């Protein structure tokens, strides 16, 4: 008979989520390194074999035994989280913590509006933003470090997650005022002919953007890459080139000193979604948060469409906005 406790199973689940990094798994569970090592030894003894592949003194991955065991453990850990969620909502549906895994851009430009409404409705719920790169956000939810993820790339058809659409967006160009900035919609040829400032690979639709310009025979001349739209705007203001950013990140109040020009040819449309664990019942305030996301997404899409429409109608973007 296996002599295992839930903490042993949580450790195996965390080791899978953290790339067999025992120190990271220990931190994620609030354990000391010696405690995690002891639990791992107990787990390996109960399972009858090693669970981590070693190269010298380093752990480099899970063994086949651990991978097979983790598929069963995941269901147990998810069931524990589901029971905990039900119990918390029964005890007090108005208190708790909402942990949101997201990128800097979503936290800066999209989440303030729904979270303002959330704070007014549930003032006693603590909020925590867990920021990361898109490829890490699903793992944060699956690993139990976040309750909901809000992001564009990296979700795919994750078997452990459910998701709902938030808003759709595309890219626009921004540049410092001047004769070279031009007015009205800009062609791909014009964009590709000058230095471009845009996102690093892996975020904010960069791959789709590159593919669209390459398919048109107009590969981008990228002069500067950054992960943050505000950084790209700063260098656009300094005259480094034309920034290509998500339309969601343009603020008519703070960015009115930049010339916005949509691209004439159709660019890829990207979809930001919210995701959560498929098997864990959502608490009442989590369901409310998802509803606020949906409602504010409609407003955001309307604002983005209005900005582009007004830019096109006035052959430029300036003080009349």
Residue 154 gets the label, from left (phi > 0), alpha (psi -120 to 50) or beta, of: left
Q: Is the pLDDT of residue 19 over 90?
A: no
**What pLDDT shows up at residue 319?**
36
Q: Is the pLDDT of residue 316 over 50?
A: no
Coil, helix or strand for 266?
Answer: coil
Chain centroid to Cα 310, Å, comes to: 30
Q: Residue 85: which pLDDT band, with cuts at 50, 70 and 90?
A: low
Q: Is the pLDDT of residue 178 over 70?
A: yes
Q: Model confidence over 186-235: pLDDT tens digits?
A: 999 999 999 999 999 888 899 999 999 999 999 999 999 999 999 999 99
**What pLDDT shows up at residue 183?**
80
Q: Which of 7-16, 44-53, 259-268 has the highest mean pLDDT?
A: 259-268
CA dihedral over 89, 95, 101, 102, signed as positive or negative: positive
Q: Is the pLDDT of residue 271 over 70?
A: yes
Quote the pTM value.
0.73
Q: Where are the beta strands (DSSP E) in the chain?
A: 52-55, 58-62, 96-102, 125-131, 148-151, 161-169, 171-175, 196-199, 222-226, 242-246, 259-261, 270-277
Q: How is 123-189 classified by DSSP, letter by letter?
A: TTEEEEEEE--HHHHHHHHHTTS-SEEEESSS-SS-TTEEEEEEEEE-EEEEE-SSGGG-SS-B-HH
Q: Higher model confidence: residue 108 or residue 135?
A: 108
Coil, helix or strand for 53?
Answer: strand
Beta-carbon contacts of 76 under 8 Å, excluding residues fewer than 6 positions away, are 6, 9
**What pLDDT shows up at residue 299?**
96
Q: Is the pLDDT of residue 317 over 60?
A: no
**What pLDDT shows up at residue 250?**
94
Q: Residue 279: which pLDDT band, with cuts at 50, 70 and 90?
A: confident
Asked if residues 73 and 26 have their Cβ atoms less than 8 Å apart, the reply is: no
Q: Residue 273, Cβ neighbours under 10 Å: how many? A: 17
Measured distance CA(286)–CA(303) in Å, rounded: 26
Q: Is the pLDDT of residue 272 over 90?
A: yes
pLDDT (mean) for 165-182:
89
**What pLDDT shows up at residue 157?**
66
Q: Is the pLDDT of residue 320 over 50?
A: no
Q: Is the pLDDT of residue 79 over 80?
A: no
Beta-carbon contacts of 203 under 8 Å, excluding residues fewer than 6 positions away, are 103, 105, 133, 134, 153, 227
**What pLDDT shows up at residue 314?**
52
Q: What mean pLDDT, rounded, does the chain reach?
A: 86
pLDDT (mean) for 85-91:
70
Q: Higher model confidence: residue 214 or residue 21?
A: 214
Domains (range + CATH), the chain: 6-84 (1.10.10.10), 96-162+277-294 (3.40.190.10), 171-270+305-313 (3.40.190.10)
């Amino acid at each position: 008979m296996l002599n295992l406790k839930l903490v042993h199973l949580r450790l195996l689940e965390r080791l899978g989520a953290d790339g067999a990094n025992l120190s990271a798994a220990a931190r994620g569970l609030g354990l000391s390194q010696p405690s995690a090592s002891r639990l791992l030894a107990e787990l390996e003894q109960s399972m009858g074999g090693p669970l981590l592949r070693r190269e010298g003194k380093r752990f480099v991955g899970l063994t086949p035994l651990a991978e097979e065991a983790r598929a069963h453990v995941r269901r147990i850990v998810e069931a524990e989280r589901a029971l905990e969620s039900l119990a918390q909502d029964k005890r007090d549906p108005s208190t708790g913590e909402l942990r949101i895994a997201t990128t800097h851009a979503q936290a800066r430009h999209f989440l303030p509006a729904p979270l303002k409404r959330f704070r007014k409705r549930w003032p006693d719920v603590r909020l925590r933003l867990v920021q990361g790169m898109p490829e890490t956000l699903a793992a944060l939810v699956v690993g139990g470090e976040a309750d909901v993820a809000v992001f564009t790339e990296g979700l795919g058809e994750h078997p452990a997650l459910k998701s709902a659409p938030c808003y759709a967006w595309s890219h626009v160009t921004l540049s410092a005022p001047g004769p070279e900035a031009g007015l009205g919609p800009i062609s791909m040829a014009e964009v590709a002919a000058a230095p471009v400032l845009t996102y690093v690979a892996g975020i904010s639709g960069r791959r789709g953007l590159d593919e669209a310009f390459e398919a048109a025979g107009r590969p981008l001349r990228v002069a500067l890459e950054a992960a943050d739209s505000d950084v790209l705007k700063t260098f656009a203001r300094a005259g480094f080139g034309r920034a290509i950013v998500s339309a969601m990140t343009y603020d008519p109040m703070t960015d009115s000193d930049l010339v916005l020009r949509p691209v004439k040819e159709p660019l890829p449309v990207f979809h930001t979604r919210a995701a959560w664990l498929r098997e864990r019942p959502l608490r009442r305030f989590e369901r409310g948060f998802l509803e606020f996301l949906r409602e504010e997404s409609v407003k955001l899409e309307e604002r983005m469409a209005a900005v582009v429409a007004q830019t096109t109608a006035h052959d430029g973007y300036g003080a009349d906005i």
